[in-house]
Structure 1
Amino acid sequence: MLSVLLLSLWAASPGGTVEVEVFVPLCDNALIACGRQAAGDPRALDSNLYWGARYGAERFLSRAPGFVVRSRQDRPASDAVLRELVLERPAAQGERTVRLVLRAYAGDRIDAALEDFLRAASGASQADLVVWAGHDRLMDVPPPKLPPLPGATPRPVVVLACMSERYFGPVLQALGARPVALTRTMMAPEAYLLEALASTVAKHGPTHAPALRTALVDAYARYQRIPPRAASSVFSRLEPPAP
């Protein structure tokens, strides 16, 4: 029902800005193999695999055609969030502007990132789409116990992490959030997938699961240099919302 309502509002209200909130826990060599030492330094924004490397969120998106950096704010070293980056993808004909709010969490504070993400998914965020892009922490630990948020509206959610359908799917379902893109296999949660999401949201809205999946598959095949069929196996085929 939530998905039908959101799609109806999208169709009836052209123009405006869509906000996408993205949680990016930095890669941490203490948890997974991130590559060279600097790529897995959990607090190295400039070199971290998921933030400052070639396909890291800030480096890739701040240079991607059609994206404009609106603000960049560093946080105190004691904060779980190291940097907040706000980008916009201005609307072309027939599109909406997409505003991306990306938060780089210290990799050694990934549990704080997970709690914040799940709270956002359950309705603490007012973003139109909530995204996790990084290591699947639920492969390592049980989900945190979160207090209910009375009156909150759960958000549409994308989880770009290894096997997120298996690990995040049941947790999101229990929160009432509706996943619009999940994964079935091991994968690389790289920033060209965020670019593909933003471009598709601009055209089709934040809840059009088939369009989002197609865009993710196409981008993954292109950048990973694998056949589309192989890329297709990475992303879940989610059931459309009930009428």
Structure 2
Amino acid sequence: MSDVETNNEPENTAVSFEGKSKTIHIFVALCDNKYQGIVPVPTKIGYGQDPDNNLYWGCAYGIRSYFKKSKEWKFLKSEKNISNLVLERIIFKHTSKDYYLIADAYDGKYIKECTVDFLKSSSGIIKDTLNINNETIGISGNSSLVSYIGHDGLMDFQLSESFKNTDDKKRDVIILACYSKRFFSPHLSNSNVNPLVWSTNLMAPEAYVIHDAITGYVNNEDNQQIRSRAAKAYSKFQKCSEKAAKNLLVTDW
């Protein structure tokens, strides 16, 4: 296990930090039959207060389970209940590249807060750091890649806040949720982001998509190559044609 400390300063401090290692920060809204406008899934995997059995976290194709089995990522640490919103945080280090991956499992009841935190991080409005093995790394808006995974809550609720870029830094984003390009693009229009992968229709936002997209990302592939990796993974696991997967998972604006 690694010694990991979280900077518990208020989120609105937004202090920029650039370490020698790059960071990928994934915001996961746990699947929740009760609090989200979804087609109900089996009760056990749709209980948004139980990360261990949740569809997007502890199930086979959930973020925690899938990345723990990956040969590309070394699991470092899990932290439980790091806030009233985040039920678990997991931390990985890439086995050959100088990248860390942080994933936060938000209580499904707080999907709106998860969405807002993702948008604020993408814009640089909130920034934070972690200390890992005597190294400080940036998270939230100090990450190079920020991702949202889960139900597209923007189909259910409205946001009155604006998310304008604060520092001229262009962050890469991956948004795996139904119709994510349509619903997230208005909120990111002034955020100065580079959309690597987002969706045009209904989708299953499972971990193999972002896993394979990140493989291209850490190898400095371009947007189209990264999107192609994501589509191939979706095609394989969802048993659909690669053409259909590429129509679903798109890149850029």
Interval of TM-score (by shorter of Structure 1 and Structure 2): 0.7 to 0.9
The answer on 1:82 being equivalent to 2:87 is: yes
Deviation by residue 1:41-81 (Cα, 9 ceiling, x = unmatched)? 011111110001110110111112222111110016x6101
CA contact (8 A) 2:26 2:146 kept: yes
2:107 aligned partner:
106
Question: Which of the two has greater strand per residue?
Answer: 2
Cα–Cα, structure 1 residues 148 and 165, in superposed 2: closer, same or farther, change >3 Å?
A: closer
1:203 aligned partner:
219
Structure-1 separation of matches of 2:181 and 2:163: 23
User: How many Å apart are 1:177 and its aligned residue?
Assistant: 2.4
What is the root-mean-square deviation in Å for CA atoms of aligned residues?
1.8
The counterpart of 2:74, out of the listed 52, 68, 92, is 68
Unmatched segments (≥5 aa) in structure 2: 1-19, 127-140
Cα–Cα, structure 1 residues 53 and 173, in superposed 2: closer, same or farther, change >3 Å?
A: same
Deviation by residue 1:132-168 (Cα, 9 ceiling, x = unmatched)? 0111111111224147564363522111111111100
Q: Which amino acid aligns with 1:236?
A: V
1:143 aligned partner:
159
The 3-state SS of whatever aligns with 2:99 is: strand
Unmatched segments (≥5 aa) in structure 1: 1-15
User: How many Å apart are 1:228 and its aligned residue?
Assistant: 0.8
The answer on 1:56 being equivalent to 2:62 is: yes
1:39 aligned partner:
45
Q: Which amino acid aligns with 1:99?
A: Y
The 3-state SS of whatever aligns with 1:19 is: strand
CA contact (8 A) 1:204 1:211 kept: no
The answer on 1:132 being equivalent to 2:148 is: yes
1:23 aligned partner:
27
CA contact (8 A) 1:172 1:178 kept: no
The 3-state SS of whatever aligns with 1:143 is: coil
The counterpart of 1:226, out of the listed 211, 215, 240, is 240
User: How many Å apart are 1:24 and its aligned residue?
Assistant: 0.2
After TM superposition, the score normalised by the length of structure 2 is 0.80
Question: Which of the two has greater helix per residue?
Answer: 1
Deviation by residue 1:13-62 (Cα, 9 ceiling, x = unmatched)? xxx64311100000011221352101110111111100011101101111
Same amino acid, percent of matched pairs: 28
CA contact (8 A) 1:119 1:146 kept: no
Structure-2 separation of matches of 1:59 and 1:187: 20
